[in-house]
Amino acid sequence: MILEVKGLKKYFPIEQGIFRHASGFVKAIDGISFSLNEKETLGIVGESGCGKSTLAKLILRLLNPDAGEVVFSGLIRELRKDVGIVFQDPLLSLDPRMRLKDMLREPFLARGLKRKADSEIGSLLGEVGLGSDILSRHPAQLSGGQRQRACIARALASRPKLLVLDEPLSSLDLIAQKQILELLSGLRKRLELTYIFISHNIAVVKQISTRVMVMQSGKVVEEGMAREVLGEPKSEYTKKLLEAAK
């Protein structure tokens, strides 16, 4: 096991009026428990607003839960190093003023590995299928697919065990989506990574996941092997999601 989520809750206050008093709560995560095994890909699906990104942020400790906890196994010693993140919009997650070279160097400098940086950057680029000719470019000078490859390279720089991917394909056109999906599948096998793959695109989740968790309004509706949950869904909600994806 790589991590265990126990009874996790996160409620956001709904603020109203000019005095911004809380008039209620959005139960973004409302009692979620699950465990994640090493080298598995857990797909998380559910409609917009069901709490997927909030769950990712709680796992990454970018948010504090109101109840429950996320427990990592000994495989994850240092969250910042052992867990990588890839977000939906590479333009928002890359610094527009930085050149690709400096962006990829940063994780090494942060760990005092300045000398190692250049050789490691070369192999990272190779891993994500980018040429070294684009190293001096800024994010705006890259295509969407190249930008997402750059984000993946940066996420891999600390040699993480677990990658949390929150809608990593949603900003891309269909061809780039297919390429990045293949890249991620290949990397997972080669580097023996564990993935949490969040998407509202069921077809994509079906393709990459070993296990799937279906969320609705902050709760888990259904969970199990990808083939079973998406092949023979038990809940009405999953059936509806599958129907809507046709």
Ligand X SMILES: Nc1ncnc2c1ncn2[C@@H]1O[C@H](COP(=O)(O)OP(=O)(O)OP(=O)(O)O)[C@@H](O)[C@H]1O
In terms of CB distance, is 7 or 49 closer to ligand X?
A: 49
Phi, psi (rounded to 5 degrees) for 216:
-145, 130
Under rule CB under 6 A, residue 64 binds ligand X: no
CA distance 81 to 90: 20
Phi, psi (rounded to 5 degrees) for 54:
-65, -40
CA distance 150 to 26: 34
Question: Contact with ligand X (CB under 6 A): which of 17, 18, 20, 48?
Answer: 48
Half-sphere exposure of 159 (CA within 13 A, CB side): 8
In terms of CB distance, is 191 or 203 closer to ligand X?
A: 203
Nearest to 82, CA basis, from 90, 92, 72? 72
Under rule CB under 6 A, residue 65 binds ligand X: no
* Per-position x/- string for 21-60, each x denoting binding to Mg ion as judged by CB under 5 A, each - no binding: -------------------------------xx-------
Total chain residues near ligand X (CB under 6 A): 12
In terms of CB distance, is 52 or 188 closer to Mg ion?
A: 52
In terms of CB distance, is 46 or 160 closer to ligand X?
A: 46
Total chain residues near Mg ion (CB under 5 A): 2
Question: For residues 145-204, which are near ligand X according to CB under 6 A?
Answer: 200
Under rule CB under 5 A, residue 199 binds Mg ion: no
Under rule CB under 6 A, residue 51 binds ligand X: yes
In terms of CB distance, is 90 or 107 closer to Mg ion?
A: 90
3-state secondary structure 155-224: HHCCCCCEEEEECCCCCCCHHHHHHHHHHHHHHHHHHCCEEEEECCCHHHHHHHCCEEEEEECCEEEEEE
Q: Which residues bind ligand X (CB under 6 A)?
A: 12, 26, 28, 46, 48-54, 200
